[in-house]
Amino acid sequence: MLIEHTSLARTASAILEGAGAPRAHADAVAHHLVEANLKGHDSHGVGMIPSYVKGMVDKQVDPNRHAKIIKDNNAIVSVDGGTGLGRIVGFEAMDIGIERTKNFGIGCVALGNAAHLGRIGAFAEYCADQGLVSMHYVNVVGHDPMVVAFGGRDRRFITNPYCCAVPRPNGEHVVLDMATTTVAAGKVRVAHMKGTAVPSQSLVDENGLETTDPGVIFGSNPTGAMQPFGGHKGYGLMVICELLGGALGGVFTMQPEHPRRGATLNNMLSIMIDPEAVGDLASFDQEVGAMMDYIYASTPAEGVDHVRLPGDPEKESAATRMANGIEIDPNSWNSVLNSAEHAGLDRDSIAALAHLLDD
């Protein structure tokens, strides 16, 4: 099904509000999810609504919560997310960090115990829009692990994303935003919903052997696990996200003393730098631009149309999907509508809010 993006956001917001989020929070979270769809990350788009609704209905996520400063060391601030909606407490934490970075040249915000933050790139882009470089180390907790340690067979992590953005004055920021697994868990879920295979080196079966079947994670009897990307190096970055995001920035890591009640929670350590405080802003911009041009001028490999920078696929996807609509597979859409019923809403009235472009 092809759905027009503003109507998809209206639909998403109505469901989230029905599940208990205040209207302003529901609108902001709906925009965050639809933006992920627009940018090509369906794993972090409206397909997350069923788990957000479940989190609110089960009272594991508090949709009214705001970020609260719990330790203030000027340039370094610790913030309790209080299981508030990730988009809400996450942007509030970014606002605190941006303000400190404008004062001190550098800022660090440790956000703990936020409900699912969604696409981390949104937080980095928000900092980049203020002219700041930012790095975000995130761990994922709250439910059972899904990812093996390098060389291991049993599960120890979830998908720990890392993100870094370099601002450009024209808004065309360079944004590296990635899970430290070969694919994001939501992409395995989407593949399972669509009945398709996942890329190689993404999953292992119960014997630790390579498989492309998403059923080993999302089937009725999940016995497999996900793999960190890039062998020992990607695994190393996953460990650093766990320790900086969870132990330094947040309140807990995946080690088994901590509760796993089912709702996905994130801890995020964000470090922001004002380029103007480091050196000459004009020469920084000039050098970044010149390097980008040099990279873009690469001769493409056979079968590649042109070389891209991190963040480019998202910009291309957003342009296409804004013009043509967002493709949602029928299984995922059915789950979204089921979640509307779970929130006590009338399924048909909610479905009618979405403007289908391929009717």
Question: Taking CB under 6 A as the rule, which mask of x and - marks residues 229-268 in contact with ligand NAD?
Answer: -------------------------------------x--
Q: Which of 107, 118, 214, 325 binds ligand NAD (CB under 6 A)?
A: 118
Between 45 and 107, name the residue whose CB sits nearer to ligand NAD. Answer: 45
Between 165 and 337, name the residue whose CB sits nearer to ligand NAD. Answer: 165
Q: Does 84 bind ligand NAD (CB under 6 A)?
A: no
Residues 282-311 that bind ligand NAD (CB under 6 A): 308-311
Q: Does 140 bind ligand NAD (CB under 6 A)?
A: yes
Between 254 and 345, name the residue whose CB sits nearer to ligand NAD. Answer: 254
Using CA atoms, how far apart are residues 274 and 281, in angstroms rounded to an integer? 9
* 3-class SS of residue 85: coil
Using CA atoms, how far apart are residues 263 and 52, in angstroms rounded to an integer? 8
Question: 183, 199 in Cβ contact below 8 A?
Answer: yes
Q: Does 29 bind ligand NAD (CB under 6 A)?
A: no
Q: Which of 42, 314, 337, 343 binds ligand NAD (CB under 6 A)?
A: 314
Short-list 219, 155, 211, 224, CA closest to 192: 219
- Sole window of 117-125, 198-206, 250-258, 333-341 interacting with ligand NAD (rule: CB under 6 A): 117-125
Question: Taking CB under 6 A as the rule, which mask of x and - marks residues 162-201 in contact with ligand NAD?
Answer: -x-----------xxxxx---xx--x--------------
Q: Does 135 bind ligand NAD (CB under 6 A)?
A: no
Angle at 194 between CA 190 and CA 200, to 5 degrees: 70
Q: Does 120 bind ligand NAD (CB under 6 A)?
A: yes
Q: Does 68 bind ligand NAD (CB under 6 A)?
A: no
- Phi/psi at 211 (nearest 5 deg)? -145, 155
Structure token pair of residue 32: 């965050």
Using CA atoms, how far apart are residues 103 and 153, in angstroms rounded to an integer? 47
Task: Provide, rounded to whole angstroms, the least separation between the CB of residue 97 and ligand NAD.
Answer: 17
Structure token pair of residue 103: 């004062």
Q: Does 116 bind ligand NAD (CB under 6 A)?
A: yes
Task: Provide, rounded to whole angstroms, the least separation between the CB of residue 19 and ligand NAD.
Answer: 19
Task: Provide, rounded to whole angstroms, the least separation between the CB of residue 347 and ligand NAD.
Answer: 28
Task: Provide, rounded to whole angstroms, the least separation between the CB of residue 139 and ligand NAD.
Answer: 8
Between 96 and 140, name the residue whose CB sits nearer to ligand NAD. Answer: 140
Task: Provide, rounded to whole angstroms, the least separation between the CB of residue 152 and ligand NAD.
Answer: 20
164 membership: H or E segment, kind and range: strand 161-166
Question: 222, 211 in Cβ contact below 8 A?
Answer: no
How many DSSP H helices and E strands does the chain contain? 13, 14
Using CA atoms, how far apart are residues 24 and 51, in angstroms rounded to an integer? 20
Short-list 217, 349, 266, CA closest to 55: 266
Using CA atoms, how far apart are residues 217 and 32, in angstroms rounded to an integer? 26
Which position has the token pair 């975000």? 136
Q: Does 89 bind ligand NAD (CB under 6 A)?
A: no
Q: Does 117 bind ligand NAD (CB under 6 A)?
A: yes
Q: Does 32 bind ligand NAD (CB under 6 A)?
A: no
- Phi/psi at 156 (nearest 5 deg)? -135, -20
Helix, strand and coil content of the chain, in percent to the nearest 5, comes to 45, 20, 35
Give the residues lining the site for ligand NAD (CB under 6 A): 41, 43-44, 116-121, 140, 159, 161, 163, 175-179, 183-184, 187, 266, 308-311, 313-314
